[in-house]
Amino acid sequence: GNSVTQMEGPVTLSEEAFLTINCTYTATGYPSLFWYVQYPGEGLQLLLKATKADDKGSNKGFEATYRKETTSFHLEKGSVQVSDSAVYFCALRGGGATNKLIFGTGTLLAVQP
């Protein structure tokens, strides 16, 4: 079945450091891929998405490229800020009638000043 694997956290970085959070997936067909973010005390927010191979999703300085050959969708940001501290979830949607999302376990990012 479909599944998502993302790197274990927590990830602790200093402000302005480079961020990578790895995400790989297993899926049949051609899933859409997402990164959601949960800031402290808030709900999940869509950060970015990509719907087909080689697409790059981007938002708020974050980027992720849909790599079909490596079945990956790694999240990157060139210079993190304290305000980026949150839990990041990688997810896929396999399509079909339900459109349900399949999530990874989440990665806690803590950015220190």
The site for other proteins (CB under 8 A) is made up of: 4, 36, 41-46, 49, 89, 91, 97-106
Q: Which is nearer to other proteins, 31 or 104 (CB)?
A: 104
**Smallest separation, CB 98 to other proteins (Å):** 4
- Take residue 68 and report the two structure tokens written for it: 């079909």
Sole residue written with tokens 């790989």? 24
- Compare residues 49 and 77 and give the one whose CB is closer to other proteins: 49
**Residue 11 CA to chain centroid, in angstroms?**
14
Q: Where are the beta strands (DSSP E) in 15-82?
A: 19-21, 23-26, 32-38, 44-50, 56-59, 62-65, 75-77
98: amino acid identity, one letter: T
Least separation in angstroms between CB 112 and other proteins: 22
Nearer to other proteins, 14 or 105 (CB): 105
For strands 86-93 and 75-77, give the pairing: unpaired
* Shortest spacing between CB 78 and other proteins, in angstroms: 25
Distance of closest approach, residue 16 Cβ to other proteins, in angstroms: 28
